[in-house]
Amino acid sequence: MGLRLGQFRIDAIQAGLFRLDGGAMFGVVPKNLWATRVPNDEQNRIHMGMRCWVVRSEATGRIYLVDTGAGTKGDDKFRRIYALEDRDFLAEGLAALGLTPDAITDVVLTHLHFDHGGGVTRYKPGTTEPELVFRNARHWVTREHLETAKHPNQREKASFLKDNVEPLFASPLLSVAPDEGEAYEPGFGTIHVHGHTLGMQLPLLEADGKTLLFAADLFPTHAHIPLPWIMGYDMRAIDTLAEKERVLKRAHAEGWYVFLEHDAEHEVVTIGYDGRHFGAGRFLKLDEV
């Protein structure tokens, strides 16, 4: 079980399936194109996952959790809108790996949109008072993203739910993530991108001659690899375009493995290029990397 890469052991947890509007997921790409690649339901929604990583480092003893899914605080209406199940998949996934939330030393948050940072908090039993789930973990968010999450514009505001972010903002466990070019520890760096939201960090593991990227919302599904396939949710789509090109060139040239957080079906993909267009190369499970 799990993938060994140098001093790291990496496991994926599926923190739950949900559905988002297909039109919003593919921006300017018309439905008669995207629907040929990704099936949609009677409400025009596409199936998605919320995969997280657990990265255990033999070198430092740190146990990192990368992203946390949507959490368990949503009420009936919220769960209906997004087709979320009322179940704590993240806690179950950790337990299956022999871990409790208290064992996590570091929560690396790519960004704080609800489907990434919702699992950071839960309601205290019998109340609607949120508390942090990972009581022993430093929670890493980039400086730019903290700024934008604390003072969101009207368009992005709905993605930052009060009960997800406020306990974190008030906590001494909140830490400013290393800059791009610095690292959590040798072999565990990040790429920072700003088109989806300011200061999204993408974990990048490099060991044993392999490179594994946690793509978060730069490539939410395999269908988002072609350059113009950009989410309508992105704040600065034109910046996403340039960021995708920069990452795709490197990922293709260096044979990276790209881990897909939101793809309902595929866990890992390589990058193909036919001389004109980038696209999905090979599909793999994480432990086949």
Binding site for Zn ion (CB under 5 A): 113, 217
Residue 118: both structure tokens together: 């919702």
Amino acid at 47: H
CB of 55 to Zn ion, least distance (A): 21
Nearer to Zn ion, 122 or 196 (CB): 196
Query: Strand runs (DSSP E) across 44-199, as ranges?
Result: 45-57, 63-66, 106-108, 121-123, 130-132, 138-141, 174-176, 183-185, 188-193
CB of 288 to Zn ion, least distance (A): 27
On whether the CB atoms of residues 259 and 211 are closer than 8 A, the answer is no
CB of 231 to Zn ion, least distance (A): 8
Amino acid at 30: P
On whether the CB atoms of residues 106 and 62 are closer than 8 A, the answer is yes
Nearer to Zn ion, 57 or 221 (CB): 221
CB of 197 to Zn ion, least distance (A): 6
CB of 128 to Zn ion, least distance (A): 24
Which pairing describes strands 200-207 and 188-193: parallel, antiparallel, or unpaired?
antiparallel
Nearer to Zn ion, 29 or 198 (CB): 198
Q: Is 33 helix (H, G, I), strand (E, B) or coil?
A: helix
Nearer to Zn ion, 19 or 56 (CB): 19
CB of 111 to Zn ion, least distance (A): 6
Nearer to Zn ion, 155 or 276 (CB): 155
Nearer to Zn ion, 25 or 137 (CB): 25
Q: In this chain, which residue has its C-beta nearest to Zn ion?
A: 113
CA-based end-to-end distance of the chain: 12
CA distance 110 to 159: 14
